[in-house]
Structure 1
């Protein structure tokens, strides 16, 4: 599903928060919260792990909803994804994602 490609090109359909939400998988929520808390040195609880995708209506993690600079920029520019932005190739905001994830760049160009 094309609408499951995030603004940055990552595939929301493969995200553990999305999978935990659509499958109502409490064990995956707990595992994801623990991992994300460690990776981000932040207090992330299992109840924070609810997301239906960053480009669709419905639940979103706090990060995806209001802290993600990529999502905020795309919404401001009314872009479907960063792939619609003429500045994508030189953009530092999305640059880290696409430089570390070739599939994200392919999704944005697709």
Structure 2
């Protein structure tokens, strides 16, 4: 029997469950564990939800020709006179939140104190830091998410690689929680 060489796209497909394809680079799932313990691939922004919503809204509005009828509609609803500004906001949403490469590749808040601190201390995640339970930066960063410290503890116990694999298997979005 002759050896059959599979086309490269088949190999990529087979490996997709283990790796995320990022352009030319193949990234490990652990590359998407943020310093603060968020899993980037579960983020609606990283998943392109905002970009998709803007594209869908523009498609519907374009089908109805809203850009052409706004002056007339503004007679019925005064806020429609700001349609041009609304379009600028939609463009801004896509520009800022359209394609997030993940925390390690510079995505997210460019001034993130948690990221800066972890980088200065040489940590891949805050889970490595002995001060994480009392850390004011992480407290400020996770306001509204009382589970983040428990998540960091889980990352510490499992290691970022195993934790990322667990998150990938879950296949959820933070928008679902």
**TM-score, normalised relative to structure 2:** 0.43
TM score, norm. by length of structure 1: 0.65
Q: CA deviation at 1:16?
A: 1.7
Quick one: which of 95, 100, 109 aligns to 1:47? 95
Q: CA deviation at 1:45?
A: 2.6
Q: Distance in 2 between matches of 1:27 and 1:47?
A: 12
Structure 2: 5+ residue runs without aligned partners?
A: 1-28, 57-91, 156-177
Question: For the structure 1 residues 29 and 13, does the alpha-carbon distance in structure 2 shift closer, same or farther, using more than 3 Å as the test?
Answer: farther
Residues 84 and 7 (structure 1), Cα distance of their counterparts in 2 relative to 1, 3 Å cut: same
Instruction: Give 1:19 deviation, angstroms.
Output: 0.7
Higher relative contact order (CA 8 A, sep 6+): 2
Does residue 5 in structure 1 map to residue 52 in structure 2? Answer: no
Equivalent pairs counted in the alignment come to: 89
- The separation in 2 between residues aligned to 1:98 and 1:9, in whole angstroms, is 13
Q: CA deviation at 1:29?
A: 6.0
Q: Tell me the CA shift for residue 5 of structure 1.
A: 1.5
> Structure 1 unaligned runs (5+)?
32-43
Q: CA RMSD in A?
A: 2.7
